[in-house]
């Protein structure tokens, strides 16, 4: 006889403990079965960690989904999003991706990796703008009194104005030039070298207009000899300081909208991003909920009129519904006992209402009953003789035979017999 020992795992709500219980088995088959049960219970007791791919329910979604229904979960427990969904980019080292679980549509160009993609919208870092954060906007990024911003290779940086140097441009350069060549020049061998199209002995003559200190045409155009700016593509204004609306078809002309620094301000009656869509006013009174609104006008159904379909007129034929009903715009509401489009048909009653629907149906035009199988009579109240009564009449389901006839169907002649002798009888049919 073989003896086996097994240790059983026991779980506790307060803590996970293992209690050793020594079990003895007298044969190998019992030990094998119990060992399988033990292994199953042990593995079932392991705690599981919810998948990172599961997204919580949103409005209109009955239960949590894998990768919001727009991706698949990899073996590494991360979502692989379908094209056009999710965002794996983050501009903060070690931070979670903006949309790793494919819950929202992707942002344009991953926000050019110069912004955050939050619910399908790019939120750009300082110095960048546009739907995809691709456009560089240096603006007032320089805090020093003697600095000005410059753009190079899509990045912004600060440089010192003439006569200043060092970190923050706070160190003044000592020169022998008059007035140190002002703000827009530098002294080189006792002579002023003017910057960015400034001119004059002391760089006192301004160049083309600008909105960026020290840079003609705001750095977005070419300064001509006439001291006018020839702006780069996409920019406009005396100093090329504004975005134009060429990408928006110039707001489809001055009759549709006006360009305001890259954005169309649509005139009354026009809408959409480029002011190309005609916007009609709401229809009066919402067409009283009976008409169709099209381009601000109500189209009324028969029986209704007015700018908001708020008025009605009767269209019944004849208008009085044959004096057997009342007209409701286009429909006759018939009085009791009448029917038809114009209440022209009298509803006739059948005898005893044909004894109910189980016995027959009433023809309201003729006032006669159409009896169902098994019933007969003017009012379908009597039971019918289903096999007929031959030489008789049916009386509520039973045949009443004529003289000289008998049987359930009155089909048998009546035979009369009388005894002639002791063992002889004479029979004959009775006369009709």
Average pLDDT, the chain: 79
Q: Read off the pLDDT of residues 51-73 as tens digits, 9 standing for 90 and up.
A: 778 876 555 455 678 888 888 88
Residue 13: its pLDDT value, please? Answer: 38
Residue 54: its pLDDT value, please? Answer: 80
Q: Read off the pLDDT of residues 106-127 as tens digits, 9 standing for 90 and up.
A: 898 888 888 888 888 888 887 7
Residue 47: its pLDDT value, please? Answer: 43
Instruction: Judge if pTM exceeds 0.75.
Output: no
Number of residues assigned to the chain: 432
Distances (CA, A) of 80 to 91, 119, 245: 20, 18, 38
Annotation: CATH topology of 351-382: Laminin (2.10.25)
**Residue 405 — very low, low, confident or very high, per pLDDT cuts 50/70/90?**
confident
Q: Please check whether the domain covering 246-278 is classified as CATH 2.10.25.
A: yes
> What are the tokens at 314?
């009767």
Dihedrals phi, psi of 29, to nearest 5 degrees: -65, -40
Using the structure block, give the residue that is written with the tokens 């208008």.
319
**Could you tell me what percent of the chain has a pLDDT over 90?**
12
d(CA 394, CA 328): 51
Summarize the confidence of residues 205-228 as an average pLDDT.
81
**Could you tell me what percent of the chain has a pLDDT over 70?**
79
Residue 38: enclosing H or E segment and its boundaries? Answer: helix 28-44
Which segment of 82-96, 176-190, 208-222 scores lowest on mean pLDDT?
82-96
Distances (CA, A) of 141 to 5, 114, 128, 158, 166: 78, 16, 11, 8, 17
Whether 351-382 and 246-278 are alike in CATH topology: the answer is yes
Extended beta strands in 62-178, E state: 65-66, 71-73, 79-81, 115-118, 121-124, 128-129, 135-136, 147-152, 155-160, 164-165, 171-172
> What are the tokens at 388?
């007929």
Q: Could you tell me the residue ranges of all domains in the chain?
A: 4-43, 67-129, 246-278, 351-382, 385-420
Q: Read off the pLDDT of residues 345-385 as tens digits, 9 standing for 90 and up.
A: 888 888 988 988 888 998 888 889 999 988 888 889 888 88
Q: Read off the pLDDT of residues 163-193 as tens digits, 9 standing for 90 and up.
A: 688 888 888 777 778 777 887 788 877 888 8
Nearest to 350 by CA among 374, 330, 329, 368: 368
């Amino acid at each position: 006889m073989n003896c086996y020992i097994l240790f059983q795992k026991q779980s506790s709500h307060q803590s996970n403990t293992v209690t050793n219980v020594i079990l003895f088995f007298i044969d190998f088959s019992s030990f094998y079965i119990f060992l399988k049960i033990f292994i199953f219970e042990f593995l079932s007791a392991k705690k599981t960690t919810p998948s990172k791919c599961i997204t919580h329910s949103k409005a209109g979604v009955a239960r949590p989904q894998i990768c919001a229904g727009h991706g698949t979960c990899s073996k590494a427990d991360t979502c692989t999003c379908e094209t056009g969904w999710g965002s794996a980019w983050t501009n903060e080292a070690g931070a979670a991706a903006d949309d790793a679980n494919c819950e929202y549509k992707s942002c344009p160009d991953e926000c050019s990796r110069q912004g955050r993609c939050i619910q399908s919208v790019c939120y750009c870092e300082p110095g960048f703008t546009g739907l995809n954060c691709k456009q560089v906007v240096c603006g007032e990024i320089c805090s020093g009194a003697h600095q000005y911003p410059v753009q190079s290779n899509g990045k912004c940086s600060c440089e010192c104005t003439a006569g200043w140097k060092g970190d923050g441009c706070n160190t003044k350069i000592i020169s022998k030039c008059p007035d140190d060549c002002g703000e827009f020049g530098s002294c080189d061998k006792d002579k002023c070298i003017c910057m960015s199209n400034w001119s004059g002995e002391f760089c006192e003559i301004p160049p083309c207009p600008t909105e960026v200190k020290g840079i003609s045409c705001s750095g977005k155009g070419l300064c001509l000899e006439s001291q006018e700016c020839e702006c780069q593509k996409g920019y406009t204004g005396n100093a090329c300081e504004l975005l134009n609306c060429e990408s928006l078809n110039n707001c489809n002309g001055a009759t549709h909208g006006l360009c305001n620094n890259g954005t169309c301000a649509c005139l009354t009656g026009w809408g959409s991003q480029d002011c190309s869509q005609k916007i009609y006013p709401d229809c009066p009174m919402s067409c009283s909920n009976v008409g169709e609104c099209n381009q601000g006008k109500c189209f009324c159904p028969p029986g209704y009129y007015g700018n908001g379909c708020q008025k009605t007129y009767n269209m019944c034929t004849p208008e009085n519904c044959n004096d057997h009903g009342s007209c409701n715009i286009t429909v006759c509401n018939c009085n009791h006992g009448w029917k038809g489009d114009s209440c022209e048909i009298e509803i006739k009653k059948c005898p005893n209402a044909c004894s109910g629907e189980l016995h027959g149906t009433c023809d309201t035009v003729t006032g006669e009953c159409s009896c169902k199988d098994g019933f007969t009579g003017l009012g379908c109240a009597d039971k019918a003789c289903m096999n007929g009564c031959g030489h008789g009449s049916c009386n509520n389901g039973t045949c009443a035979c004529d003289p000289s006839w008998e049987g359930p169907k009155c089909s048998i002649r009546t035979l009369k017999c009388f005894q002639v002798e002791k063992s002889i009888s004479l029979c004959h049919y009775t006369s009709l």
